[in-house]
Amino acid sequence: MVAADLRRRRATVAARRASGLAGDPDIDASWQRCEPVVEATRSTAPVDDDSSEIEARWRDSPIRRSGIDIEEQLGRAADASGLIAAVTDEDGRILWTAGSRAMRSRAESVGFLPGGRWDESSAGTNALGLALHTGRAASVFADQHWCDSVRDWVCWSVPITTSDGRRLGVLDLSGTWDAGSPLAPIALSALGRLVEEHLPDDTAGAADTHLMVRLLGERAVTIGGKEIALSPRQVELLAALALEGPCHLDRLRELVYGDSSVSDSTVKAELSHLRHRLGGGLASRPYRLTMPMTVDAAAVRTHLAHGNTAEALRGYTGQLLPDSEAPFAREHRHIIDAAMRRSVLASGSASDLLRFADVHRYDEYILEQAVERSADEPSLQHLALARLEHLRSN
């Protein structure tokens, strides 16, 4: 494509932007998604400033670990066309870039650097966010971009997808609008196919990434049925995110550390270790778990909310993280214990009461109620009486 053709194309795209319709269904749909959430005047994409976390995410990325030397190959493609190359994670956050010094400087001024967030809700219509949203290769030219700061750009992106359909991130080549090389999207598509053909084995099968978190009684954390070793503090951070949902750093520190004097770097280091243990299944800004998961404490609370005492008791094998003094743990422990107690007193059988007493051995009133409700079951009443007498004698 000659320069005159590019100038005519840009003029056409600019005129369409002025009319409010791009004439491309994907771009039009993206503009509609972006209009209520992103100001067109936004000058830069938001950038996560935790470089150690970004480096860890890139080190663990299945795209980097595909074994095709993606940094060399994508970097070479960028150099050959005067572009900048980038790879993102599944959330659209850039993990790695390479390109000429001039293009890197221009890119950094708009947040197109490691840590930059280029999903549509963060940076408006762009090829990276569009490819992640649609699951297809995308290109965005000049005024097709939603934000004014990148309307001089052209970007091409291809999503990287596992065999079971999970998106791991995108490969991208970007440059100024007049760098419209037809070779760039061809090279990018070829690299995308090559990465997908050589993804590491640990990306296969969504079932292998299922996170099981057991917090009641004896704690345990498994991924795909395999237990992973976590420190008590890492379990607390994981539990806080699993029970409270996405949290910014200050909130997470408050939930887990309370009034203790703990630096941001200490909390971030623990989260970085946790992310590594989870195989990358922890995102930030805000911090959140990105894996399918089951949490025993959450299941028990759901059963209690629906009045299903028997099912709640099956999962209630002990108090929530009984040794933890983290503020969130104390709160959730109290709520579950109190709700469980009220539930068994309101509608539980003598057997239910005794099961609750297995966890709360010094609750005399629970045992008294078990004795009373087992009047028609002599053997069960004998057991309840024996436990009550033992408690009173000590």
Average pLDDT over residues 286-293: 89
Based on the fold, state whether residues 309 and 187 are members of the same structural domain: no
Distance of CA 158 to the CA centre of its chain: 21
CB 191 within 8 A of CB 77: yes
pLDDT computed for residue 204 by the predictor = 57
* Domain count within the chain: 3
Q: Comparing 303 with 81, which gets the higher pLDDT? A: 303
Based on the fold, state whether residues 196 and 214 are members of the same structural domain: no
The rounded distance, in Å, linking the Cα atoms of 76 and 95 is 17
Q: Do the domain assignments include residue 20? A: yes
pLDDT computed for residue 388 by the predictor = 93
CB 93 within 8 A of CB 116: yes
CB 391 within 8 A of CB 367: yes
* Strand ranges for 284-327 from DSSP E: 288-289, 293-295
Residue 64 has pLDDT above 70, yes or no: yes
pLDDT computed for residue 80 by the predictor = 80
Based on the fold, state whether residues 176 and 61 are members of the same structural domain: yes
Percent of the chain at pLDDT exceeding 70:
97
Q: Do the domain assignments include residue 116? A: yes
The rounded distance, in Å, linking the Cα atoms of 61 and 102 is 27
Residue 189 has pLDDT above 50, yes or no: yes
Q: The domain containing residue 110 runs over which residues? A: 3-203
Q: Comparing 339 with 218, which gets the higher pLDDT? A: 339
Q: Do the domain assignments include residue 241? A: yes
The structure tokens listed for 372 are 């009373």
CB 260 within 8 A of CB 270: no
Based on the fold, state whether residues 310 and 378 are members of the same structural domain: yes
* Residue of 185, 88, 200 lying closest to 137 (CA atoms): 185
- 352: part of which helix (H) or strand (E)? helix 350-359
Based on the fold, state whether residues 134 and 219 are members of the same structural domain: no
Residue 385 has pLDDT above 90, yes or no: yes
Residue where one domain finishes, among candidates 294, 314, 340: 294
Helices and strands per DSSP (H, E), number in the chain: 17, 11
Based on the fold, state whether residues 336 and 349 are members of the same structural domain: yes
Mean confidence (pLDDT) of the chain? 90
108 contacts: CB under 8 Å, gap ≥ 6: none
Q: Do the domain assignments include residue 299? A: no
Based on the fold, state whether residues 287 and 359 are members of the same structural domain: no
Give the confidence band of 334 by pLDDT, cuts at 50, 70, 90: very high
| Highest-confidence segment of 59-63, 124-128, 173-177 | 124-128
pLDDT computed for residue 48 by the predictor = 83
Q: Do the domain assignments include residue 300? A: no
pLDDT computed for residue 208 by the predictor = 55
The rounded distance, in Å, linking the Cα atoms of 394 and 391 is 6
Residue 1 has pLDDT above 60, yes or no: no
Q: Do the domain assignments include residue 284? A: yes
Query: pTM of the entire structure?
Result: 0.59
Based on the fold, state whether residues 260 and 196 are members of the same structural domain: no
CATH number reported for the structural domain that contains residue 280 in this entry: 1.10.10.10
Based on the fold, state whether residues 194 and 79 are members of the same structural domain: yes
Q: Comparing 344 with 52, which gets the higher pLDDT? A: 344
222-276 tens-digit pLDDT: 998 889 999 999 999 999 999 999 999 999 999 999 999 888 888 988 998 898 8
* Residue of 136, 69, 126, 135 lying closest to 94 (CA atoms): 126
Based on the fold, state whether residues 256 and 313 are members of the same structural domain: no
What 3-state DSSP class applies to 17? helix
Based on the fold, state whether residues 246 and 377 are members of the same structural domain: no
pLDDT computed for residue 216 by the predictor = 96
Give the confidence band of 180 by pLDDT, cuts at 50, 70, 90: low
Based on the fold, state whether residues 13 and 116 are members of the same structural domain: yes
Average pLDDT over residues 303-311: 90
103-123 tens-digit pLDDT: 888 999 999 999 999 999 899
